[in-house]
Amino acid sequence: MVAMAEALVDFHCHLDLFPDFEELVRECDAAGLYTLAVTTTPRAWRRNHNLASATRHVRAALGLHPQLVADHGDEIALFEALLPETRYVGEVGLDAGPAHFRSLERQREVFRRVLVACASAGDKVLSVHSVRAATLVLDMVEAHLPRGRSNVVLHWFSGSKAEARRAVDLGCWFSINAAMMQSDRMSAIVRTVVPIDRILTETDGPFAREGDDAARPADVGRATSMLASSFGIPEGEMAKRIRTNLAALVS
């Protein structure tokens, strides 16, 4: 496992859903662990931002989670109002899974407004959810977010090899967690389709698990280790590549 001294990257974690949220922010910063604290509604962003802005290594992303659009879709207006205050956007996107399919049209309208706002503002970094909706997400990115206006990072991508190739062609990045690398199908897609210089790591804690517990940012070393094994390079080199990728993404 890569040592914490290697400055790991957790580019998608719901820090504010942990009971020790404030302590976890301080813990990530003290460890030099680059962490993107995604939010699920615009109303949650301010508290995250206020805590993260006092750190060097944690940033807060402004989100409107597709799974919450049925009840919180009206907060898109607040999202648009807050967007000038942040460079980071997430969690946003589409979820066409059985539990959320009924709200898909509303999700599409909300996501369209997110993309249009980011295209207009420019220089945003988006962490995007695409469960059972990779083609729809890519269609909307292509239609509403011209390449070069902002960057899309596909979080916990679960689409097909063809969809992954299309995402690469559209300039998308990918944040990879340990659960993805445990799937033979997904690990093969990552290894054979996704350029190594478009890869970041994530935990998606507390939704992802690390044994019997919720995955925490420090657990992202397992994804780094699994990626290193998949690409056949030392763990330390993989960690450095991911940090270099992060620097390229946000530069």
Query: What sign results for the dihedral spanned by CA atoms 245, 119, 91, 24?
Result: positive
65 is in an annotated binding site: no
**φ, ψ (nearest 5 deg) of residue 15:** -55, -35
12 is in an annotated binding site: yes
91 is in an annotated binding site: yes
Q: Whole-angstrom Cα distance, residue 92 to residue 69? A: 10
Q: Could you give the C-alpha distances from 84 to 71, 87, 116, 121, 123, in angstroms and in order?
A: 24, 8, 13, 7, 11
Cis peptide before 91 (omega within 30 of 0): yes
139 is in an annotated binding site: no
Of 110, 69, 61, nearest in space to 87 by CA: 61
The strand order across the sheet containing 124-131 reads: 88-95, 124-131, 150-155, 173-176, 199-201
Task: Give the largest CA-CA distance in the chain.
Answer: 47
Say if residue 4 is exposed, middle or buried (CB neighbours under 10 Å; 0-12, 13-18, 19+): middle
Query: What sign results for the dihedral spanned by CA atoms 201, 24, 62, 109?
Result: positive
- Identify how many contiguous H helices and E strands the chain contains and give both numbers: 11, 10
DSSP symbols for 58-80: EEE-B---GGGHHHHGGGHHHHH
Q: Which residues are annotated as a binding site for a divalent metal cation?
A: 12, 14, 91, 129, 155, 204
Q: Which residues are annotated as a binding site?
A: 12, 14, 91, 129, 155, 204
